């Protein structure tokens, strides 16, 4: 076996990644670490995939996406944006993960500055490292919303800003006013915006969510990232998409077809069935998440060393703990006590001192997990 040295790109990601491998869980462990719905994909979507397979959707398809799905998504995005998007402004991808990779690798050159408000989704930093860019983390304000003054200072000269709205891991929903303010900061610059709206359907207050695409002064510089994973409980299907300026999408398509080729043909037919379901698919799940959120917050209220703002969206609570222990070590201790959570430091430097608790699992699981969290924290504090 010749001596192997990983590429510089792989080495950069390994050195800088904040992501903590979870490994295989011990037996009798309960998990609040999961980033996915515990619901089955709605039956009409499953049926559409099976029918598509029987009808021969077993071949390569267009590398930018199934034309019918691309058109349907262009129509959807046009409605969201209040402005017409053509099919060549749409790219179907292998989940949001590949959408984010395609967008970042299409835009970021070695040495480019990329602003990452944090705590934020940990994949962004790794992808910027893969591209050779320089991530600049900008900590949130104390209410976990953006610190707009800090962003104003950090953004000049940035090629790109990347964020999720609603935010994984904090559950914050960035308001229309925040987006308008961001637009004002970026006015007259060449900075692009990558808005990851994976959780846009999981928002608890009516009308609280506002897309970057629906923000007039942001739209022209926005690369919109979306996925079927969370909205339709389709994490394993791997179907996402990008929408944005045609030249950016063409560059992203070049990257995506280089890494991924085309997306699974039958899954793209099933995605059409998901779109036809629309909000009817998410409503029962949203009702369940709301109940689970209430249960989790009732339990948090009884643990004096843990506090979290009530999430406005997503199915995560980002809880600050009062104990002299690093979040990775606390996570390891909790794991020994039989409960999995994610360490706050995974989401950026200011995430230290926090853990992320998912309330996507069912209510008995949340109770069992919080029993263990409470007991373990009592021993530590």
Ligand X SMILES: Cc1ncc(COP(=O)(O)O)c(C=O)c1O
Binding site for ligand X (CB under 6 A): 35, 95-97, 121, 164, 168, 196, 198, 227, 229, 235, 240
- Nearer Cβ to ligand X (162/303): 162
- Nearer Cβ to ligand X (120/353): 120
- Nearer Cβ to ligand X (92/303): 92
Least gap, CB of 131 to ligand X (angstroms): 17
Block residue for tokens 């080729």: 261
- Nearer Cβ to ligand X (235/277): 235
d(CA 301, CA 287): 21
Least gap, CB of 188 to ligand X (angstroms): 29
Least gap, CB of 164 to ligand X (angstroms): 4
Least gap, CB of 216 to ligand X (angstroms): 24
Block residue for tokens 């953004």: 155
Least gap, CB of 280 to ligand X (angstroms): 21
Q: Tell me the residue nearest to ligand X as measured from the CB.
A: 95
d(CA 197, CA 352): 24
- Nearer Cβ to ligand X (175/381): 175
3-class secondary structure per residue, 186-210: HCCCCCEEEEECCCCCCECCCCCCC
Helix (H) or strand (E) holding 274: helix 265-277
Block residue for tokens 């099919």: 87
- Nearer Cβ to ligand X (164/365): 164
Instruction: Answer whether 266's CB lies under 8 Å from 120's CB.
Output: no
Alpha carbons within 13 angstroms on the beta-carbon side of residue 353 total 8
Least gap, CB of 374 to ligand X (angstroms): 26
Question: For the purposes of burial, counting CB atoms within 10 Å of the CB of 287, is it exposed (0-12), middle (13-18) or buried (19 or more)?
Answer: exposed
């Amino acid at each position: 076996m010749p001596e192997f040295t990983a590429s510089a790109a792989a080495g950069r990601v390994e050195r800088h990644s904040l992501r903590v491998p979870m490994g295989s869980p011990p037996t009798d462990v309960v998990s609040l670490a999961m980033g996915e719905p515990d619901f089955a994909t709605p039956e009409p979507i499953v049926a559409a995939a099976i029918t598509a397979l029987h009808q021969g959707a077993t071949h390569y398809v267009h590398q930018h996406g199934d034309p019918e799905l691309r058109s349907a998504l262009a129509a959807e995005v046009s409605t969201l944006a209040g402005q017409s998007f053509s099919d060549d402004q749409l790219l179907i991808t292998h989940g949001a993960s590949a959408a984010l990779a395609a967008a970042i690798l299409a835009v970021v050159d070695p040495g480019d500055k990329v602003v990452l408000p944090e705590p934020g989704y940990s994949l962004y930093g790794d992808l910027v490292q893969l591209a050779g860019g320089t991530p600049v983390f900008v900590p949130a304000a104390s209410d976990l919303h953006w610190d707009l003054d800090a962003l104003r200072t950090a953004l000049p000269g940035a090629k790109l800003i990347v964020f999720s709205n609603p935010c994984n891991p904090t559950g914050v929903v960035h308001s229309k006013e925040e987006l308008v303010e961001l637009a004002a900061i970026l006015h007259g610059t060449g900075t692009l915006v990558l808005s990851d709206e994976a959780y846009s359907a999981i928002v608890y207050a009516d009308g609280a969510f506002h897309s970057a695409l629906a923000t007039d002064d942001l739209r022209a510089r926005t690369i919109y990232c979306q996925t079927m994973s969370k909205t339709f409980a389709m994490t394993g299907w791997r179907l996402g998409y990008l929408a944005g300026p045609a030249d950016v999408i063409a560059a992203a398509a070049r990257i995506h077809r280089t890494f991924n080729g085309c997306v699974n043909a039958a899954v793209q037919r099933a995605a059409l069935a998901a779109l036809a379901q629309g909000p009817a698919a998410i409503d029962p799940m949203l009702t369940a998440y709301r109940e689970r959120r209430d249960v989790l917050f009732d339990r948090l209220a009884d643990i004096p060393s843990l506090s979290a703002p009530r999430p406005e969206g997503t199915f995560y609570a980002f809880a600050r703990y009062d104990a002299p222990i690093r979040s990775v070590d606390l996570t390891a201790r909790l794991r020994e006590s039989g409960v999995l959570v994610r360490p706050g430091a995974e989401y950026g430097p200011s995430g230290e001192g926090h853990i992320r608790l998912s309330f996507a699992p069912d209510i008995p699981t949340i109770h069992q997990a919080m029993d263990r969290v409470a007991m373990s924290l009592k021993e530590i504090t």
